[in-house]
Chains A and B, each alone.
Chain A
Amino acid sequence: MEQPLENLELHLEMFIENVRQINIIVSDFQPQGQNGLNQKINSLVSGLQEVEKLKNQLGDVYVPFEVFEYIDQDKNPNLYTKDCMDKALTKNEEVRGKIDSYRKFKEHMLVEMYKTFPNEMYQMYRAIRPE
């Protein structure tokens, strides 16, 4: 899976570099630069063709929408990963706390029920006890 992604990254970098070079050519255009510009424009087209070809190899890559929001806001997408991990850890601890509370509650409940309904609890114990 890594190779198509790396390939795409490489092609995108080349494409960006081409655009940058076109920017330089165009920013102070000289008549003799027309041929170079034409070549660069065609290399852009070929770059897009390459990216189009790679599209099929990346059909199973899913990106969360929120990542795009981070990028649109000029933020580092690694922050999204960090936030996700923080949230997951917090939630994990929350749920663990709840489970512990329920476990303690169950223990207390059983103790109290044994005190209040000893016979019924004994019957229940016999019913659910694995043979």
Chain B
Amino acid sequence: MMNFGVGEFRKMESYSSPKSSPRGGRSPVVSRQDSSGTLKTTISLGKNPTIVHSGPFYLMKEPSGEAEITGATNLMAHYGLEHSYGKFSGKKVKEQLSTFLPNLPGCDGMPNMENSTLRSVIEKPPIGGKELHMLSSVQLAGFRLHPGPLPEQYRTLNTTPARKNKNKQKKAKNKDGTPLQDNASQADGVGGLEAAHEKKHKKQKRHEDDKERKKRKKEKKRKKQRHSPEPGTLGATGGVIGVPGPSNLGMPTSVGGIGGPMGGNLMMPTQTSMF
């Protein structure tokens, strides 16, 4: 009489080698805990071999122990990553590497040279493990350079700073350009004021004109100071003109009526009235 489960029977089938025959294996007499629990049969050999089901027959296995965390739970919430997910999904992440490393010079527009990838560093690691020493003066002699600019082929590395400089140069040009306009306005005199009126929407020009006028005022003051013997009257005029002082505060409002919606800088009409 042999008593075994179906699962075990399958196991025996798979072991076709004589060395692993059931006789040489575990004794069938020894009772074993049935792991599958699916089907128990009793096979009797002899003249009339019979197969008798000796246990209950179940279609299903016993349910296996459930894992603590499965895909049924919201794993993003479980691991507290909702905030991070919201951060990335909420706004569009800019694709360029330079947005991740804004302070890295030469990161933007740097040509991708061959074998300069991080992957190549991992695949073919550089020679390492040696101690690093400071270079001696003899070794530094190898870095003695010829005076002059870099050869063409290496200048690409300077592209990014050059761009920044270009912007600065543009700004500088603007700065340089404005005095020319000022000169023109100076040459025009009162006509220059009219021109300024026409172009009052251009703030920069306004600022520049104001500066010029302030300079002129100061010069006039100095002249007056030289000629006039009464310093008290000078102080009064100073207040009217708009030289820094408390009396100055009311000026822009009165000027605003003339020049339109201009800021505190727009004292030019009153200033010109002084001339």
Give chain A's interface residues, CB within 8 Å of chain B: 13, 16, 20, 23-24, 26-31, 34, 37-38, 41-42, 45-46, 48-49, 52, 65, 68-69, 71-72, 74-79, 81-82, 85-86, 88-89, 91-92, 94-96, 98-100, 113, 120, 123-124, 127-128
Contact = CB atoms under 8 A, between A and B. Distances in A.
B191 to A, nearest CB: 47
Interface residues of B, number: 51
Which 4 residue pairs are nearest across A and B when measured between Cβ atoms?
A95-B71, A68-B118, A82-B88, A72-B117
Interface string B122-146: 1000000000111100001001111
Contact of A77 (B60, B84, B100): B100
Contacts of A26: 145, 150
Nearest to B60: A124
Contacts of A29: 145-149
Chain A residues touching B, majority SS: helix
A71 B157 CA distance: 19
Given A37-B145, A95-B70, A98-B71, A16 B105 contact: yes
Contacts, number: 122
A34 B145 contact: yes
Given A27-B158, A41-B140, A124-B60, A92 B75 contact: yes
Nearest to B142: A41
A13 B155 CA distance: 22
A23 B160 CA distance: 12
B62 interface: yes
A117 to B, nearest CB: 8
Given A71-B118, A79-B95, A85 B100 contact: no
Given A68-B119, A120-B57, 20 more contacts: A13-B103, A27-B149, A27-B158, A28-B150, A29-B145, A29-B146, A41-B140, A49-B132, A68-B117, A75-B97, A76-B93, A78-B100, A85-B76, A85-B81, A89-B85, A92-B74, A95-B70, A99-B70, A124-B56, A124-B58
